[in-house]
């Protein structure tokens, strides 16, 4: 059973800022935003067994029932050295989740910008929200939702993209959630120290789903942008190539494979 005691014990070897655990909460991002606004230390964690109002991007819902997955938010107070690289934060988070999956012998991919896939199905998502102080980011809240057990996978009518869980992908006994959380936070601390390096962007780029394939990216406008997925810019933007091999750079959007005609 995951609880405050088991989490404190597992995370005690890591240098986290603080921990808040809830059996049930609306959204861990909301609590972390409130905590950040009232002085949460760097690398504070809000985690819940269940979310009743879990959020995705653009008002979408994140399904996180009791006893099924990991739903947590990290508060980040960026150092001066990290500030120029904050657009890479989603990559930092995605790489950290991906590494925890590699450790279990799986082969994760990152569907740009914020989904982690196993067997081409979504196993985790990331939601980053900023607290501003004038024109500067005061702190960031990085929400991560990871489907651990089969019961975390939403019913198909809930989804635009197929979903899976770690348990489904492993097909064998799944480690405790605390252990997976430990691995994610350890990787996060490791990569965060390398936030300004090419190594981070390369590591992230190597894991991109659909590389070299024809994709469509919905950016909120009517027509999707279509092209071949080439890689990343150094700020974490996505680079596609059009039919004349001219680069198209995309900052926001949702990538999917282009259905073959």
Q: Which residues bind ligand BT5 (CB under 6 A)?
A: 27-29, 51, 54-58, 60-64, 71-73, 114-115, 122, 125-127, 143-145, 147, 152, 154, 158-160, 163
Question: Considering beta carbons, is residue 65 or 175 the nearer one to ligand BT5?
Answer: 65
CB of 73 to ligand BT5, least distance (A): 5
Range list of β-strands (E), the chain: 18-25, 44-51, 69-76, 109-111, 115-118, 121-133, 136-147, 214-218, 225-232, 238-241, 247-250, 254-257
Q: Which residue has the tokens 């760097």?
A: 42
User: By C-beta, is 97 or 195 nearer to ligand BT5?
Assistant: 97
Comparison of 18 and 81: residue with beta carbon closer to ligand BT5:
18
Q: CB of residue 151 vs ligand BT5: minimum separation in angstroms?
A: 10
Least distance CB 59 / ligand BT5 (angstroms): 9
Query: Measured from the CB of residue 237, what is the shortest distance to ligand BT5 in angstroms?
Result: 17
The residue nearest ligand BT5 at its CB is 125
CB nearer ligand BT5, residue 30 or residue 205: 30
What is the spatial distance between Cα 57 and Cα 185, in angstroms, rounded to a whole number?
22
Q: Are 191 and 200 in contact (CB under 8 A)?
A: yes
Report in angstroms how near the CB of residue 246 gets to ligand BT5 at its nearest. Answer: 28
Closest CA to 251 of 211, 207, 220: 220
| Residue carrying the six token digits 């999917």 | 256
How far apart CA 164 and CA 107 sit, in angstroms, is: 13
Least distance (Å) from ligand BT5 to the CB of residue 44?
A: 14
Q: Which residues pair with 30 in a beta bridge?
A: none
Residue number with CB closer to ligand BT5 (65 or 241): 65
Nearer to ligand BT5, 55 or 177 (CB): 55
68 vs 176: CA distance, rounded Å: 11
Q: Report angle CA 78, 83, 89 to the nearest 5 degrees.
A: 75
Complex with ligand BT5: residue 17 or 241, whichever CB lies closer? 17
Q: Which residues contact 173 (CB under 8 A, 6 or more apart)?
A: none
Nearest to 86 by CA among 31, 144, 131, 32: 131
- Smallest gap from residue 65 Cβ to ligand BT5 (A): 9
């Amino acid at each position: 059973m995951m609880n405050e005691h088991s989490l404190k014990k597992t995370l005690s070897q890591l240098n986290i800022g603080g921990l808040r655990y809830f059996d049930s909460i609306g959204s861990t991002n909301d609590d972390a935003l409130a905590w950040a606004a009232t002085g949460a230390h760097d690398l504070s964690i809000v985690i819940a067994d269940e979310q009743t109002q879990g959020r995705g991007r653009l008002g979408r819902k994140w399904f996180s029932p009791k006893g099924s997955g990991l739903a947590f938010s990290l508060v980040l107070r960026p150092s001066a050295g990290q500030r120029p690289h904050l657009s890479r934060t989603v990559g930092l988070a995605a790489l950290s989740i991906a590494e925890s999956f590699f450790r279990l012998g799986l082969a994760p991919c990152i569907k740009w910008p914020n989904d982690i896939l196993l067997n081409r199905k979504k196993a985790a998502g990331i939601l980053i929200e900023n607290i501003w102080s004038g024109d500067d980011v005061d702190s960031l809240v990085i929400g991560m939702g990871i489907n651990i057990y089969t019961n975390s996978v939403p019913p198909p009518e809930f989804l635009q993209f197929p979903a899976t869980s770690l348990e489904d992908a492993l097909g064998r006994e799944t480690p405790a959630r605390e252990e997976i959380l430990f691995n994610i936070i350890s990787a996060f601390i490791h990569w965060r120290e390398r936030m300004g390096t090419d190594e981070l962007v390369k590591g992230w780029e190597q894991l991109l789903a659909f590389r070299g394939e024809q994709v469509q990216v919905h950016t909120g406008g009517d027509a999707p942008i279509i092209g071949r997925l080439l890689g990343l810019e150094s700020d974490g933007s996505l680079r596609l190539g059009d039919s004349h091999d001219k680069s198209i750079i995309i900052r926001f959007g949702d990538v999917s494979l282009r259905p073959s005609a």
